[in-house]
Amino acid sequence: DGGITQSPKYLFRKEGQNVTLSCEQNLNHDAMYWYRQDPGQGLRLIYYSQIVNDFQKGDIAEGYSVSREKKESFPLTVTSAQKNPTAFYLCASGTSGGADTQYFGPGTRLTVL
Amino acid sequence: GENVEQHPSTLSVQEGDSAVIKCTYSDSASNYFPWYKQELGKRPQLIIDIRSNVGEKKDQRIAVTLNKTAKHFSLHITETQPEDSAVYFCAGYLQKLVFGQGTRLTINP
């Protein structure tokens, strides 16, 4: 899982601002995922992409947007429409199309000021 | 869609004892069940997984069992050590991974 990087590690946002979280992988994985983790809770799927130029909403997509222009990159934008964005955001990648191991990045902790 | 329930939410055991965490899933078509370990402030890391055509899998002190009829799977850690203290997540796969709520395992010396 050292092949997945996320930046920044910590991010502070003022209310009303959009912010973009970076996720890059060099594992040659087709699939990439974004999860949100709140204290004491499990991981909830925001968006996922099985192939370049295609992505699907997960369980909590409202207030978020993504793009997948390159296989290696899957940035997540937290928009001002997301009312409670303070959380730990985890990016993951894996082989496409099936049940297989997902490898996680180190995460970005977003705090709204 | 798939729903995964995990129990208990917290577990405390004496060093050297065994720990068991259980998960149940709702959709019998789910076919892949990984377990992740997450230390405080760090990324989840896969520790073991099992597919629906297998009933049990072991890796040193860690084992996972799957009962498809009852739709539950369990993580077993034997001879627990202080470094086993972490939050453990189970997940079930049906088109996407659905995670349980996590179990905070504490190993008491």
Distance of CA B102 to the CA centre of its chain: 9
Which tens digit of pLDDT belongs to each residue from A13-52?
A: 888 899 999 999 999 999 999 999 998 788 999 999 999 9
CA A4/CA A25 separation, integer angstroms: 4
Taking the C-alpha atoms of residue B86 and residue A49, their distance in angstroms, rounded to an integer, is 29
Structure tokens at A33: 């995922």
Contacts of residue A76, defined as CB under 8 A and 6 or more positions apart, other chains included, come to A20, A21, A23, A34, A46, A47, A64, A65, A66, A89, A91
Q: What is the pLDDT of residue A97?
A: 63
Interior CA angle at A107 toward B96 and B94, to 5°?
5
The sign of the CA dihedral A73, A79, A82, A83 is positive
Q: Is the pLDDT of residue A98 over 70?
A: no
* DSSP per-residue codes, A45-111: EEEEEEETTEEEE-TT-TTEEE--SBTTB--EEE-TT-S---EEEEEEEE-TTSS---EE---EEEE
Which of the residues A4, A43, A100 would you substitute to probe the B interface, choosing the one with the greatest number of B C-beta atoms within 10 Å? Answer: A43
What distance in Å separates residue A80's CA from the closest CA in chain B? 26
Q: Which of A3-12, A78-87, B63-72, B77-86 has the lowest mean pLDDT?
A: A78-87
Partners of A44 on chain B (C-beta within 8 Å) are 99
A43, B4 contact by CB (below 8 A): no
User: pLDDT confidence of B2, banded at 50, 70, 90?
Assistant: confident
Check A45 against B102: CB less than 8 A apart: no
pLDDT the model gives residue A86: 94
